């Protein structure tokens, strides 16, 4: 997971583009938008899904910076609890 790529996707694309990319990856295809990082479908899907979560928080009224921090904090908490 690469936080800068999640930030870039959430700033550069709208919800429809991200959802279309998620559907393409889930179907085993290439996403219609550029997703940086390893050529791993799982990493691409993670980046896209987290970018969508950032946009959801923005729709709830948060600024992008705050939405990004909240989503990444939640990921950090999950990873910490997994240990």
Contact 45, 18 (CB under 8 A): no
Domain positions in the chain are 3-81
Please give the C-alpha separations between residue 67 and each of 13, 16, 20, 57, in angstroms, as whole numbers: 15, 18, 22, 5
**What CA dihedral angle connects 57, 20, 26 and 48, to 10 degrees?**
-40
- Of residues 43, 52, 68, 64, the one with CA closest to residue 16: 52
The structure's pTM equals: 0.90
- Of residues 16, 9, 70, 14, the one with CA closest to residue 37: 9
pLDDT tens track, the chain, 83 positions = 899 999 999 999 999 999 999 999 999 999 999 999 877 899 999 999 999 999 999 999 999 999 999 999 998 877 776 55
pLDDT at site 76: 82
pLDDT at site 38: 78
């Amino acid at each position: 997971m690469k936080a800068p790529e999640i930030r870039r996707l959430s700033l550069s694309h709208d919800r429809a583009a991200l959802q279309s990319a998620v559907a393409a990856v889930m179907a085993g295809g290439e996403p219609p938008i550029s997703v940086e990082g390893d050529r791993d479908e799982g990493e691409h899907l993670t980046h896209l899904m987290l970018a969508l979560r950032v946009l959801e928080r923005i729709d709830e009224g948060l600024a992008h910076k705050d939405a990004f921090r909240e989503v990444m904090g939640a990921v950090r908490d999950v990873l910490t609890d997994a240990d």
